[in-house]
Amino acid sequence: MSNKIAIVIPLYNEEHRFNFGYFQSIGKKYSQDVDFVLVDDGSSDRTSEIAHKISAQFSNFRILELGENLGKAEAIRIGFRYILQSQTKYRGLGFMDSDGAFDLADLTNSINLFDLKCMNDSYEAIFMSRLAISGRNIERNTLRHFFGRVVSRIIKCGLPNSPWDTQAGLKIFKSTEEFSRTIQVPFRTRWLFEVEILQRVFVSRREVLRIWEEPLHNWVDVKGSKIGIAQFVNIASSVLTIAAINVIQIAPIRIRRSRSVQ
């Protein structure tokens, strides 16, 4: 098992908000212990050109180009599978959003927590969350925050002990055979891949994924987000899909477990 972590970064039409300096800092800071896979999800602008430019500067960046736009969830899943098929065997597989919404200190914190909680304890994933508590600088779009809370409430109705914030763009999973099996088939939704992973694990083993959730220190919604009205409709459809999976697949399992306990 390698001592490195691999992180997938999905990209779609990021030409006008790709923070080149941010990624240069990442390339320098994590040159020895983290590999990054930039997945261009069928962009129609200069995203691919920019991605290749940053990859040419740092050996720990790789490029994976998809021929068409498949959606964030599928781009990340394909990135994960690409990593798992490589010769290097990573101890952790993560993903992060490309917009630079969080500080590098939070990325370092997530990696340190992964080693502490997942490699030296019984946890299986680190989920960073946008929890606006004292001492944190969390600035979120009101509408997106509202939708996020609705999604979380629906998830909690089906999955016990699910995270407070499933959608923050920074997570690391322990690399296991079970995780590899979990991502073999395409996700049903284009956005909520994290929730589908939790659902698949629960259906497979009848237990929740053991997650350590940690509040981010800084998070600022970056202008230029591609989540508009059409995307909110798509997300709403995804939420209904997630709810249906909870009812059809997960609820019967929880009922049987409850009866067996009685």
Summary mean pLDDT of the chain: 86
Q: Is the pLDDT of residue 99 over 60?
A: yes
Q: What is the pLDDT of residue 65?
A: 97
Residue 229 has pLDDT above 60, yes or no: no
**Banded pLDDT at 214 (limits 50, 70, 90):** very high
Residue 148 confidence (pLDDT) above 70: no
pLDDT score for 208: 86
| Confidence (pLDDT) at 103 | 92
C-alpha distances in Å from residue 49, one per residue of 22, 56, 58, 174: 17, 11, 15, 32
pLDDT computed for residue 251 by the predictor: 53
Q: Is pLDDT at 193 greater than 70 in this prediction?
A: yes
> Mind listing the domains of the chain with CATH numbers?
5-261 (3.90.550.10)
Distance of CA 152 to the CA centre of its chain: 15
Query: Could you give the CA distance from residue 66 to residue 79 in angstroms, rounded to a whole number?
Result: 10
DSSP characters over 195-212? HHHHHHHHHHHSS---EE
Q: 120 vs 141, which has greater pLDDT?
A: 120
Note the pLDDT of residue 140. 77
What tens digit of pLDDT does each residue of 118-138 get? 999 899 999 999 988 999 998
Averaged pLDDT, 150-171 = 78
Given this model, what pLDDT does residue 162 score?
Answer: 81
pLDDT tens-digit readout, 1-50: 568 999 999 999 999 889 999 999 999 999 999 999 999 999 999 999 99
- pLDDT (mean) for 71-82: 95
Strand extents, DSSP E, the chain: 5-11, 34-41, 61-66, 92-96, 125-129, 137-139, 170-174, 211-215, 218-220
Q: Look up the pTM and report it.
A: 0.86
Task: Summarize the confidence of residues 142-168 as an average pLDDT.
Answer: 73
pLDDT for 180 equals 95
Taking phi over 0 as left and psi of -120 to 50 as alpha, with beta for the rest, 179 belongs to alpha
- Average pLDDT, integer, range 76-102: 94
pLDDT at residue 250, rounded to an integer: 59
